[in-house]
Amino acid sequence: MDIYAIITNAVRDYLVASDGSEPEKNIIQIQKTRKEFDGDLTLVVFPLLRITKKSPEQSAEDIGAYLVEHCSEIDAYNVIKGFLNLVVSPVYWSLKLEEMTSDMEYGRINPTSDSLLYMIEYSSPNTNKPLHLGHIRNNLVGNSISRIMQANGFRVSQVNLVNDRGIHICKSMLAWQKWGNGATPESTGKKGDHLVGDYYVMFDRTLKEQVREMVAAGSKQENAEKEAPLLQEAQEMLRKWEAKDPEVISLWEKMNSWVYAGFDVTYDRLGVSFDKIYYESQTYKLGRAIVLEGLEKGILYKKDDGSIWADLTGDGLDQKLLLRADGTSVYMTQDLGTAVQRYEESHFNTHIYVVGNEQDYHFQVLALILKKLGYDWADRLYHLSYGMVELPDGKMKSREGKVVDADDLMDEMFTTARDMSTDLGKLEGFAEDEKEGIFNTIGLGALKYFILKVDPKKNMIFDPVESVDFNGNTGPFIQYSYARIRSVMQKAEEEGLLPGITEGLEMNDKERGLIRMLYFYPETVQMAGEDRSPAHIANYCYELAREFNQFYHEFSIMSAETVELKKFRLLLAGMVARCIASGMELLGIDVPERM
**CATH (domain of 25):** 3.30.1360.70
Instruction: Assess if residue 176 is contained within a domain.
Output: yes
* 481 φ/ψ sector (left φ>0, alpha ψ -120 to 50, else beta): alpha
Of 400, 425, 442, the residue at which a domain comes to its end is 400
Residue 109 counted as domain residue: no
Could you tell me if 382 and 293 lie in one domain?
yes
Tell whether 260 and 367 lie within a shared domain: yes
What is the extent of the structural domain holding 289?
Answer: 122-400
Residue 529 lies in a domain: yes
Start-to-end Cα distance in the chain: 39
How many domains does one find in the chain? 3
Assess whether 284 and 211 both reside in one domain: yes
- Residue 106 counted as domain residue: no
CA distance 323 to 317: 18
- Residues 416 and 527 reside in one and the same domain: yes
Give the pTM.
Answer: 0.93
Q: What is the pLDDT of residue 394?
A: 56
- 297 and 339 belong to one structural domain: yes
Give CA torsion, residues 357, 320, 159, 447, to 10 deg.
-20
| Same domain, residue pair 413 and 447 | yes
Indicate whether 445 and 388 sit together in one domain. no
Among 88, 103, 134, the domain-final residue is: 88
Quick check: is 507 in a domain? yes
pLDDT for 403 equals 64
CB-CB contact of 519 with 139 (8 Å): no
Quick one: 386 and 419 in the same domain?
Answer: no
Query: What's the residue count for the chain?
Result: 595
Q: Nearest Cα to 480, choosing from 424, 556, 416?
A: 424
> Which residues face 389 on adjacent strands?
460
In a domain, 329, yes or no: yes
Tell whether 313 is covered by a domain.
yes
494/498 Cα distance (integer angstroms): 10
Would you give per-residue pLDDT tens digits along the chain (595 residues)? 899 999 999 999 999 998 887 888 889 999 999 989 999 999 999 999 999 999 999 999 999 999 999 999 999 999 998 999 999 999 999 999 999 999 999 999 999 999 999 999 999 999 999 999 999 999 999 999 999 999 999 999 999 999 999 899 999 999 999 999 999 999 999 999 999 999 999 999 999 999 999 999 999 999 999 999 999 999 999 989 989 999 999 999 999 999 999 999 999 999 999 999 999 999 888 999 999 999 999 999 999 999 999 999 999 999 999 998 988 788 899 999 999 999 999 999 999 999 999 999 999 999 999 999 999 999 999 999 999 998 887 544 444 445 688 999 999 999 999 988 887 777 777 888 888 999 999 999 999 999 999 999 999 999 888 999 888 999 999 999 999 999 999 999 999 999 999 888 899 999 999 999 999 999 999 999 999 999 999 999 999 999 999 999 999 999 999 999 999 999 999 999 999 999 999 999 999 998 8
- Torsion over CA of 300, 302, 303 and 304, rounded to 10 degrees? -160
* End residue of a domain, out of 378, 400, 422: 400
- The domain spanning residue 455 has which CATH number? 1.10.730.10
Q: Are residues 210 and 243 in the same domain?
A: yes
Given this model, what pLDDT does residue 398 score?
43
Distance, in Å, from the CA atom of 593 to the CA atom of 595, rounded to the nearest integer, reads 7
Residues 463 and 559 in one domain: yes
Given this model, what pLDDT does residue 400 score?
Answer: 46
- CA–CA distance from 522 to each of 31, 100, 148, 527, 542 (Å)? 15, 10, 11, 9, 16
Let me know whether 504 and 458 are in one domain. Answer: yes
pLDDT of 432: 87
Give the span between the Cα atoms of 398 and 279, in whole angstroms. Answer: 22
How many CA atoms within 13 Å lie on the side-chain side of 532?
18
User: In CATH, what number is assigned to the domain containing residue 387?
Assistant: 3.40.50.620
- 52 lies in the same domain as 162: no
DSSP 73-109: TEEEEEEETTEEEEEEPHHHHHHHHHHHHH-TTTT-B
Q: In 3D, which of 57, 71, 55 has the Cα closest to residue 13?
A: 71
Q: Specify if 164 maps to a domain.
A: yes
